[in-house]
Structure 1
């Protein structure tokens, strides 16, 4: 049973209903239901192995890459079931982008890292338009001023924090509607982390953003909605301020006060 706090009515960008995930015989996620809106950054918190990253991966069918994975329930993007047969998964992942825990730029130039997606999706009619998309994406990711004179350099030569912002630029270059972030700062130092958090705040409202984080301080800083996961279930969901100052579930309270996790 999940406890839902009172929330302002907003239109759901993604709506998940009774989503369960199995890896072979093992159930990793049990009947998760949540609405995710563009207006807010939504954080998933909880101890390791609680199902939060598994659930994040269902939102753009990343679990499809695991042979033993099976997803039950419904996940709708703008009212359309993303697990229906005939769904174009490549197109889905352009609409619902993913930024991983460890920065993973392509072994290509900074320019090509950002240009790759728009080029394969046919979003630019020529070099000038592609140049514009690359610049705009790098500006939105707060990276343009640092790299504009070395766009031909390899993306892997950047610092860890710059590489993560390059991966965010790569995700937003295809004009997604949702950005999923799986612990995007866990491999970064505090200064790089602060830059990513600032960037998340700037992108809020332009995209529906979902972040999985082990840092409760980070969730409190960047999100307006928080879901607490424990042992494969979503225990409690509501405004971030309510979850952190007035949790209704004992398990949430225990996690937030550091009794376990």
Structure 2
């Protein structure tokens, strides 16, 4: 595991400036600028359709898969422009992993779900090294004890909560710098949700983590920084405790107190 040296220097892991995202002629994101630090979990909150998932997807170029999408502005990872023409998008998505709303394990064994990424990225030579990566990733995702005797079983045979932790283990296996989570608990029951939230707390500081959530309670529990999105704009960004107890903007206050959303 390579140590990152940005933690105490205040240098952001990712830096977005004046980002706009269009789907055809419809503007989904309007002039968003934000820094993402690895010592904090950053939550994006806001009503449905406010642009928070669209912006999250811009951070690892997932919007590239939508033909009508156009992104402008600057997004940097460790000072490198991720939209530069020479950027290897496959490599970028290894460095900036994504965990989706609905768990999406590969239709392969639990072992192969984890080993696949390290194999194609050449991160582990030989079976012994792969075994180590698989065990370490599953341990970090809090899943090892539950699956260590059934690594050859299909990943799709696990429960929903276990599948989501498997997807987090899969993202971790390629040694990313950032993990993006798009409403990772919305399809899960409260017990599985609590496990994912515990896991986010354990992974904090090891990776920069950004989570989109519909649940303000979840944002308050898991994050140290919160950005409130509304109608494609980032209305307010700051310490989570300040956003929830003493927001500066009326729109933030109205959303937090349940006036809309």
Match of 1:61 in 2: 61
How big is each residue's C-alpha offset from its partner over 1:194-216, in whole Å with a ceiling of 9 and x where there is no partner? 00000000000000000000000
Separation of aligned partners in 2, 1:253 and 1:172: 36
How big is each residue's C-alpha offset from its partner over 1:159-189, in whole Å with a ceiling of 9 and x where there is no partner? 0000000000000000000000000000000
Match of 1:132 in 2: 132
Does residue 114 of structure 2 align to residue 114 of structure 1?
Answer: yes
- CA drift of 1:86 comes to 1.2
- CA drift of 1:190 comes to 0.1
Separation of aligned partners in 1, 2:121 and 2:107: 20
Separation of aligned partners in 1, 2:77 and 2:111: 30
- Equivalences for residues 77-156 of structure 1 within 5 A: 77-156=77-156
- Equivalences for residues 206-245 of structure 1 within 5 A: 206-245=206-245
RMSD of aligned C-alpha atoms? 0.9
Separation of aligned partners in 2, 1:100 and 1:232: 20
Task: List gaps (5 residues or longer) in structure 2.
Answer: 1-7
- CA drift of 1:9 comes to 7.5
- CA drift of 1:230 comes to 0.1
Q: Secondary structure at the match of 1:167?
A: helix
How big is each residue's C-alpha offset from its partner over 1:112-145, in whole Å with a ceiling of 9 and x where there is no partner? 0000000000001110000000000000000000
Task: List gaps (5 residues or longer) in structure 1.
Answer: 1-7
How big is each residue's C-alpha offset from its partner over 1:4-45, in whole Å with a ceiling of 9 and x where there is no partner? xxxx98210000000000000000000000000000000000
Separation of aligned partners in 1, 2:62 and 2:95: 13
Match of 1:4 in 2: none
> Normalized against structure 2, the TM-score is what?
0.97
Separation of aligned partners in 2, 1:72 and 1:123: 32
Q: Secondary structure at the match of 1:164?
A: helix
Separation of aligned partners in 1, 2:237 and 2:86: 32
Separation of aligned partners in 1, 2:131 and 2:144: 12
Count of equivalent residues:
254
Does residue 172 of structure 2 align to residue 163 of structure 1?
Answer: no
Q: Secondary structure at the match of 2:60?
A: coil
Displaced runs of 4+ in structure 1, greater than 4 A? none
